[in-house]
A and B are shown apart, each in its own frame.
Chain A
Amino acid sequence: INHIVHNGGLYKRPFNEAFEETPMLVAVLTYVGYGVLTLFGYLRDFMRQWKIEKCQNATEREEQKDFVPLYQDFENFYNRNLYMRIRDSWNRPICSVPGAKVDMMERVSHDYNWTFTYTGRVIKDIINMGSYNYLGFAQKAGTCQKAAAKVLSHYGAGVCSTRQEMGNLDKHEELEKLVARFLGVESAMAYGMGFATNSMNIPALVGKGCLILSDELNHASLVLGARLSGATIRIFKHNNMQSLEKLLKDAIVHGQPRTRRPWKKILILVEGIYSMEGSIVRLPEVIALKKKYKSYLYLDEAHSIGALGPSGRGVVEYFGLSPEDVDVMMGTFTKSFGAAGGYIGGKKELIDYLRTYSHSAVYATSLSPPVVEQIITSMKCIMGEDGTTVGKARVQQLAENTRYFRRRLKEMGFIIYGNEDSPVVPLMLYMPAKIGAFGREMLKRNIGVVVVGFPATPIIESRARFCLSAAHTKEMLDTALKEINEVGDLLQLKYSRHRLVPLLDRPFDETTYEETED
């Protein structure tokens, strides 16, 4: 049963999100699998210590052997004994543009993944289901590339200065005006790295005496930014509005923990699309709560900008809301625009403040000019300002691809997490052996997928994650689906019993929140 939410008219369209519960047998087998691996890990460590087995990791210098050890043995247990076995599923080197099809350099290992050698052969035309190329702007030819080439020959590659000193080019001003227009906000500011945008601006906005309410599954950059700010952090359950409301009420009623003084400000940190779950934030409810409790909202649209909404303006447009309701709209240019960097958009006072006090504006180099040109051209294309309908067509193609792909996978019987409209599709694998096996089998069939396990996900919920793109044609998707079907049968991955837990009935824990204090 799919649970469709129409919460008191806040939602203008059905919100279909589902997380099927892990089947009991699968959970038990997964724990057994990890138990076996751990036992073998201890055995191998024992053999290595007693020199029965050759130790292959790099070791400390002879002259520094009496220094305090740099790494604790136990920290690296997981790395040595579990990660090493399936290390070839990650860091796969490619040698072509990361579009819908990609060329990969073949590498083999003769010593069980401790070292790799490149055979020199290139595996061509692998269907790329791992790169964040939502609107297909990762291209090596076309208007974006030509414009970037022109700017590169005029401006050069680097900037060699910070924004506040001599690094503010006219191109940056042009970009920021365009981003503000695209988002529908008063003003915007662009930064050189998406990760750094979060970790350097959250500390500028909040400090000691403020409260940050952060979602359970927020990205590492948001967590780091929150920690560096010095504010108190409280975590609410993923996308769970009752949990958030309880935290807000308690915060205002009880004030700061020891002194009982009122909080200076409350900032809610959420993401548009959560990349490991494929879920979309319940934005209408969050905005209603934020208005009721007078707090501020920081929305990280790293994955949702360009990918959601009828004209690609992100999760705010997807829900039909006004960008003025979100206090700080943050996003990155890496995913849908095929470039690099991040931005923050909002009211003019906010952006003026960030121009003066953001760590990135004072100490970090500004964006590289050809990258800026790529963003400008691709953004104009999405907005339709370049005179073609290519942008609109791509946004629609992505939405169609998403719905088609998810529907077919669910029909085949896999457990798929997340919202029906999210182009990030996590397919559950659970067992540790299947993580490596899935990645390798798909590569044999010329399809590149991304598999993730602990610690990016909870230990028994490892998954394969597909990122759909507007550049994928229906034939490519069909080929991929056929192969996934085969591999699913081979590895017995079709766990779904079509018994979906309705969202409002998920157990909500009445006790307390988790507070993390540095």
Chain B
Amino acid sequence: VQEKEELIEEWQPEPLVPPVPKDHPALNYNIVSGPPTHIITVNGKECINFASFNFLGLLDNEKVKSAAQASLKKYGVGTCGPRGFYGTFDVHLELEERLAKFMRTEEAIIYSYGFATIASAIPAYSKRGDIVFVDEAACFAIQKGLQASRSNIKLFKHNDMADLERLLKEQETEDQKNPRKARVTRRFIVVEGLYMNTGDVCPLPELIKLKYKYKVRIFLEESLSFGVLGEHGRGITEHFGINIDDIDLISANMENSLASIGGFCCGRSFIIDHQRLSGQGYCFSASLPPLLAAAAIEALSIMEDNPDIFQTLRAKCERIHKALQGISGLKVVGESFSPALHLQLEESCGFQENDVKLLKRVVDYCMNSGIALTQARYLEKEEKCLPPPSIRVVITVEQTEQELDKTASLLKEAAQSVLN
């Protein structure tokens, strides 16, 4: 007993958190005064916003705001309960119906937080012992969902269908050795429609072929492509002309094109209904505040009534993609029709911190001249495959052609002065 007392006396734990250096790039946030709309006031300076994911410009829309006001007058702000215990409002049911109708699926389910949507959907289906094939460039929310599911994760090189097929073939040979186990092991492929980290699309038609060949289910994460790709904004399935029933689950967040908060999953009732009892972020968390649901419904109506905004957005993306080519020192990463691009250093210094510092100087130059940009932020130690440091350029439908051209020329200037 004496020994035990001594051990207890001697033990010294680490401090709860290590100290953070004062000049850490992520510690000092930009302060935005007022709404983060097209003209944004950052740290006291008025700039044109090229950093918020407000693709369709609906953040500022008067109709959306008045729908939210009406809902606020009727329901107040919070829902005071999870969906199971008097937290289901008629607005939630309406939003789910509208989303299902818009995406032409049987059913949709809403979550109150975008990050929690895919992070709760994956562990609801994939458990310990199941196999998930996921792209290397998958976003952090998908990685957390996979970690929570405790399944076997197999990463394949970004957009490399040959690599994926190799992994699937390997799995097939494993299955033949142990057919009993293979019969109960579920398999999934998780991909994003438009990748947040690289700005390109996944080759969906080839994935569908692989799906039927190797009997794997596909989960598609469409946070950036919902409301952007496709003739009516229905996402990558419309873009490639694929039957939506071929995709088992589509998950998206409403925080980009719909300028609201939250996320949704849609698909067949057979799949979606399961999440109502086993989606952790759905059952154990308060439901979405009704005013945000009403704002999303109105935004969805606007999307349905004005299908030409998608073409306008795509034209602007093409324009700036072309204008940004040929900047010395910076290369554009992303498809020409992607509204969220990355600008990476053509030649890295060798140290990630120095790259980050250089890019910060470029961003500061642009901010001082009236264009608000931001660096793409990641958690260095937590990401499975850390993308290289980059500047995020976001194109919205509200930006005029002069502003796009001004940004391109300003970036050229900044790159010249900082990197040379």
Contact = CB atoms under 8 A, between A and B. Distances in A.
Given A68-B186, A72-B184, A90-B84, A168 B295 contact: no
A321 interface: no
B148 A165 contact: no
Contacts of A61: 245, 268, 270
Interface stretch (A149-157, A385-393, A427-435, A472-480): A149-157
B102 interface: no
Given A96-B74, A96-B75, A148-B72, A205 B16 contact: yes
Given A160-B59, A205-B16, A374 B77 contact: yes
A15 interface: no
A368 interface: yes
Interface residues of B, number: 117
A262 B49 CA distance: 51
A342 B23 CA distance: 27
Interface in A60-89: 60-61, 63-64, 66-72, 79, 83
Nearest to B90: A95
A220 interface: yes
Contact of B20 (A140, A332, A356): A356
B246 to A, nearest CB: 8
Interface string A383-407: 0000000000000000000000000
A327 B16 contact: yes
A350 interface: yes
Given A157-B261, A169-B36, A227 B59 contact: no
B81 A132 contact: yes
A360 B115 contact: yes
A221 B112 CA distance: 15
A157 B295 contact: yes
Interface stretch (B137-145, B351-359, B399-407): B137-145
Given A252-B8, A450-B85, A170 B378 contact: no
Nearest to B111: A193
A469 to B, nearest CB: 9
Contacts of A63: 212
Interface residues of A, number: 121
A79 B277 contact: yes
B143 to A, nearest CB: 10
B32 interface: yes
B69 A153 contact: yes
Contacts of A72: 184
A224 B280 contact: yes
Given A152-B68, A158-B259, A168-B32, A359 B382 contact: yes
B84 A340 contact: no
B4 interface: yes
Interface string A166-190: 1111100100000000000000000
Interface stretch (B50-58, B160-168, B313-321, B329-337): B50-58
A349 interface: yes
A57 B274 CA distance: 11
B273 to A, nearest CB: 6
A59 B270 contact: yes
A84 B142 CA distance: 32
Contacts of A3: none
Contact of A193 (B18, B54, B184, B285): B285
Interface stretch (B229-237, B286-294, B408-416): B286-294
Interface string B33-58: 11111001010000001011110000
Interface string B166-201: 000000000000000011111100000000000000
Contact of B80 (A67, A98, A365): A98
B313 to A, nearest CB: 15
Contact of A266 (B13, B81, B187, B392): B13
Nearest to A92: B86
Contacts of B260: 157-158, 368
Nearest to B61: A156
Contact of B52 (A163, A164, A167, A355): A167
Interface of A: 57-61, 63-64, 66-72, 79, 83, 90-99, 102, 105, 128, 130-133, 137-141, 144-145, 148-149, 152-170, 173, 192-196, 199-200, 205, 219-221, 224, 227-228, 249, 252-253, 262-266, 293-296, 327-328, 332-335, 337-340, 349-350, 352-357, 359-365, 368-371, 374, 448, 450, 518
Sorted from nearest, which 5 A-B pairs have the closest CB atoms? Answer: A193-B113, A353-B17, A195-B285, A58-B270, A157-B295
23 contacts: A67-B217, A90-B84, A95-B90, A97-B76, A130-B85, A139-B76, A144-B76, A145-B72, A152-B72, A157-B291, A164-B29, A166-B372, A170-B31, A193-B281, A193-B285, A199-B119, A253-B7, A293-B8, A353-B20, A362-B26, A364-B115, A368-B260, A370-B77
Given A148-B77, A149-B72, A164-B26, 5 more contacts: A157-B59, A157-B291, A192-B261, A252-B7, A340-B112
